[in-house]
Structure 1
């Protein structure tokens, strides 16, 4: 919280005397964008980005203050954290924040760097949901501490969103969809993401991403006493700047008879350090798969337009709806639609039986998917402008809570206005 005393400038590794807590926890794998009005504030943010505790964060510094931020986010998603410098106060700053709220995404946390030591303004900003208000001049350590506190304070929400993708039956392409959605989350939304392959014996994530990591999720699952965020971080294989892979060994030298809680330490460690975690859940029904699905923030069921998929998808969705009465109902998509000469259940009939519309209908394109699979590429790498690549971008927006249009979000941004995001 803000202390109404200006602090002397400090180096990036200096702890200012009198701080209430000398320990600053490392910042998780998040994206941070700063919009500054003065060169001094921009320099402080840039120095903070080089701090050892910010090594996992992606930080970008721009000039222009709130006006530049509002313009930037009219056409692009917002990051995990926005740093805003402003020299205004009173009703003017509140009006600027209201305009910014119209184009911001729901989960973004906001830190304001102001030039006015105003207790009344601070209280109003806190009431509206602003995460922190810092008074200039700010040091790099002030910024590192403010960002760290957002994710490590006792009252802080977990940084990560867990998305579980599961097939209604085997062979429906759930893993392919999970891998492409994770890719879209990282590439198109700019969020740091991890794709975790939970099929230890037959997982294909390492093949799809053309990776051959020496270690992966099996190391954590079979040694739960070693699991923490640092250990899991060492197991990750980097696919892109924003996407990492927690691969399955795809070997059969050990049986995969797991207890219900076997994956809890791994998922908890990922949730604490990565904004988006996509779980590729195998099509098996066991205590641990049920627990993983029930505990996810969002669930995507992948089905093909046939009777077995319809029955299984309905059973899965009905069970999860009952087990998660206070959460959004599981989403589902139809894959491999339009196979030549194959009788299919039409999407409207599928939707009527499930009492919900599919969030995506992905056509049967064997040439496109086969080429991507054999090359170890994603669909967007093979054909970026293809309508299927656009479907994956849409799914990425949906499972991360960013699917609404900018205009429809006006006045509904929690952390700026403190209202709940419509799920």
Structure 2
């Protein structure tokens, strides 16, 4: 938080687009005094970013914390809400400090908007002072920043792409989105093919690397930044691929946390990570999808896709209340002689906007697939390529920023042209 030199503290703001890093395996205890802050802390504990943390919430405020830890070890983080006057709060903190273990971090949530109090608390070793009322993401951001080094604050955004059912072209969409982010929006990107047995990313990018996702997943004890760098296959200046072996010599029975170390390493080193998530359902698939910063559901305009997409979107709404909802992309729209559900009806039924519709073009997509090329390489001016660029812009926010900068220059350019003409 940034505080002005004098006067009141300005409450921070946050948005669902902000990347808040997941917390490590810590213990946390919160001592609240009002139902509103207790409810906010319940929302924090239920958030996906707290999956590894063990948290407990109770009422009583700082006085209860002092009593609780007189003869008990303190957790990694103590969150204290106070409604008392500053002198009482300071007295409780002094008493708490006598039993605090080394390394315990204390976050205070108060109702007094005062810079001097903040400075007094920081001098006493309090990690942060937040002002109620506050949002769930305000607390999550603060807790996350307690464990992230300043040089690692800019974490990569994970975009998970999956199909509402098999055969809807989700892999093709994921690969072309990656290409658009890397080439059209000029951002470093890694595409990760999670379909270990049948993945097509290597074929679509015309790559045949000897190593890939299997080495990262099946030997996690060896995985580090150097090994990951060796496993990545370079597709272009800004795009790297973690390919699937597409071999059936072993079954794929991954544990729920099988991808966590890999994703942590990618987040720390690459601005954008696109996951090509196979159409299957297991604990690791569910955890990967719900743990991503963005979820993209690819569907065809027909009934089975509508039902399955609704299930995905409802799950995301329930499990990720503090995140952007799952995005919907309609693929293969306008297939000849096929009855289709209109995009507007699709959106109305699901209660979400259709992020983009990609037209059916068997010739274009077939040529790209057989040549190991992206749609932009085959026909850059196609409507499909425009759709991929639009999706990439929406998921990253970079396209809007670029358009904004160009529009600011337009009056100057026009003025210079008029001067030259005269």
**TM-score interval (norm. to shorter):** 0.5 to 0.7
Out of 179, 196, 212, the position equivalent to 1:200 is: 196
State the Cα distance separating 1:402 from its structure 2 match.
2.5
Partner Cα separation in structure 2 for residue 155 and residue 209 of structure 1: 33
Asked whether the equivalents of residues 152 and 268 of structure 2 are also in contact (C-alpha less than 8 Å), the reply is no
Tell me: CA distance 1:406–1:180, structure 2 relative to 1, closer, same or farther (3 Å). closer
- Per the alignment, residue 315 of structure 2 pairs with 319
- Per the alignment, residue 303 of structure 1 pairs with 299
- Per the alignment, residue 163 of structure 1 pairs with 159
- Per the alignment, residue 226 of structure 1 pairs with 222
Tell me: CA distance 1:241–1:356, structure 2 relative to 1, closer, same or farther (3 Å). same
Runs of 5+ in structure 1 lacking a partner?
1-151, 410-423
Partner Cα separation in structure 1 for residue 153 and residue 263 of structure 2: 15
Structure possessing the higher relative contact order (Cα contacts under 8 Å, 6 or more residues apart): 1
Matched residue count: 259
Partner Cα separation in structure 2 for residue 235 and residue 156 of structure 1: 22
- Per the alignment, residue 279 of structure 1 pairs with 275
Is 1:212 aligned to residue 211 of structure 2?
no
Partner Cα separation in structure 2 for residue 405 and residue 216 of structure 1: 34
State the Cα distance separating 1:303 from its structure 2 match.
0.2
Asked whether the equivalents of residues 167 and 303 of structure 1 are also in contact (C-alpha less than 8 Å), the reply is yes
Tell me: CA distance 1:407–1:214, structure 2 relative to 1, closer, same or farther (3 Å). closer
Asked whether the equivalents of residues 301 and 346 of structure 2 are also in contact (C-alpha less than 8 Å), the reply is yes
State the Cα distance separating 1:403 from its structure 2 match.
4.5
- Per the alignment, residue 335 of structure 1 pairs with 331
Moved over 4 A (4+): 405-409
Please identify which structure carries the higher helix content: 2
State the Cα distance separating 1:155 from its structure 2 match.
6.9
State the Cα distance separating 1:407 from its structure 2 match.
7.4
Superimposed CA distance per residue, residues 167-217 of structure 1 (whole angstroms, 9 cap, x where no aligned partner): 000000000000000001000111110000000000000000000000001
Superimposed CA distance per residue, residues 281-329 of structure 1 (whole angstroms, 9 cap, x where no aligned partner): 0000100001001110111100000100000000001101111100000
Is 1:184 aligned to residue 191 of structure 2?
no
Tell me, what secondary structure is at the counterpart of 2:289?
A: helix
- Per the alignment, residue 256 of structure 1 pairs with 252
Runs of 5+ in structure 2 lacking a partner?
1-147, 406-422
Larger Rg: 2
Tell me, what secondary structure is at the counterpart of 1:207?
A: helix
Tell me, what secondary structure is at the counterpart of 1:359?
A: strand
- Per the alignment, residue 39 of structure 2 pairs with none
State the Cα distance separating 1:159 from its structure 2 match.
2.7
RMSD between superposed Cα atoms in Å: 1.6
State the Cα distance separating 1:156 from its structure 2 match.
3.7
Asked whether the equivalents of residues 217 and 235 of structure 1 are also in contact (C-alpha less than 8 Å), the reply is yes
Asked whether the equivalents of residues 168 and 312 of structure 1 are also in contact (C-alpha less than 8 Å), the reply is yes
- Normalising to structure 1: TM-score of the pair? 0.59
